Amino acid sequence: MDSMEIYNLEIQCTSLQPLINDKALSVGMTGKAAASVLRLQHLLLAFQRGRVDGLSHILKAKFNGNLTFMQANCINIQFLAINIQLLLNIQCMPII
């Protein structure tokens, strides 16, 4: 892994930090998500488009027949969805 790949991985992990803080994702899961090039923006968009099913779809996506991120029972998708909904509500709040 070269320095650019490490830098990109760190950026992707940083984008998922709010989910680590809320204990919706473990540090290990965040590393796997980052390695599969998932960022918080991807999860937010998937949730906006399909709610829990959208999250489930993106987290269980296959590439060349292999799961890209998670096994079926590695993560509580419902809990992750609640945390993502909270993040979306925070992002949509007007600044006074």
The number of distinct structural domains making up the chain is 1
Residue 12: how many CB atoms within 10 A of its CB? 20
Q: Tell me the per-residue pLDDT of 15-68, one tens digit each, with 9 for 90 and over.
A: 888 888 988 888 888 877 777 778 888 889 999 999 989 888 888 776 666 666
Beta-carbon contacts of 86 under 8 Å, excluding residues fewer than 6 positions away, are 22
| 93 band by pLDDT with thresholds 50, 70 and 90 | very low
**CB of 68 closer than 8 Å to CB of 58:** no
What does pTM read for this prediction? Answer: 0.73
Instruction: Give pLDDT tens digits for 59-89.
Output: 877 666 666 666 544 677 888 888 888 888 8
Please state, rounded to an integer, the average pLDDT across all residues of the chain. Answer: 77
Q: Which domain holds residue 76?
A: 3-92
